[in-house]
Amino acid sequence: MNEVIFKPAAGETRIADEALAAGKALRRAGRFSKLAFLAARTACVNANAPLGLIVGTVFGPHEATSQVHNDIMDFGDAGVSPTAFSHSVHNVAAAYIAQAFNITGPCLTVTDFEDVAARCRELAQCWLASGTCGAVLVVVVDEAGFLFDRIEAELGEPLAGVRESARAFYILKGTE
């Protein structure tokens, strides 16, 4: 299993904005999608088989989701940007990655508070065992934000050690 991990520098809670993926395809993407894309781009290899994609997250794009909720409360449904709304959906990162890398196999976003990476691996192994695809790109991503800050303040420590990070790895048939 080939794994690539992006984390903040020592002593920091966020990955520097300059380190995030940039370019025309991502010019409207939120931080959550850019983190996921950066990990996927670095891990990308030619799988020589139909490729599936699984994106895993604990909280998803919670900053964008909260902003959309705030906009609805402040301006009503008509005052919410369609682009902002689409970037508040958990599956947005998977959509950016699938489009950028022409992934036409199955695509799913998994949310789990206990061990999202393990749930993603289990699903990937099911897809491989059933012949649904020959390889699976798994991207596990979470962005820093108010939820992490609040959990840390309440518990005195990060939830299960989760902080802003993005990691990507391939699971190939026969290597599960």
pLDDT value at residue 45: 58
Three-state SS for 91-120 is: CHHHHHHHHHCCCCCCEEEEECCCCHHHHH
Kindly report the average pLDDT of the chain as a whole number.
Answer: 77
% residues pLDDT > 90 (the chain): 19
Is residue 107 within 8 A of residue 46, CB to CB? The reply is: no
pLDDT above 90 for 120: yes
Residue matched to tokens 């992934």: 103
pLDDT above 60 for 130: yes
Is 79 inside any structural domain?
no
| Lookup: tokens for 50 | 């139909």
Is 133 inside any structural domain?
yes
Count of domains for the chain: 1
**What is the chain's Cα-based Rg?**
16
pLDDT above 90 for 119: yes
pLDDT above 90 for 73: no
Is 166 inside any structural domain?
yes
CATH of the domain at 121: 3.40.47.10
| Cα pseudo-dihedral 10, 66, 162, 56, rounded to 10 | -120
Residues with Cβ < 8 Å from 141, sequence gap 6 or more?
32, 35, 36, 39, 55, 56, 57, 93, 165, 166, 167
Highest mean pLDDT among 28-37, 51-60, 68-77: 51-60
* Residue spans of alpha helices (H) in 15-115: 31-43, 62-75, 82-86, 92-100
Mean pLDDT, residues 111-133: 91
Q: Domain span at residue 102?
A: 3-62+90-172
Mean pLDDT, residues 160-170: 74
This prediction has a pTM of 0.78
| Lookup: tokens for 49 | 């088989």
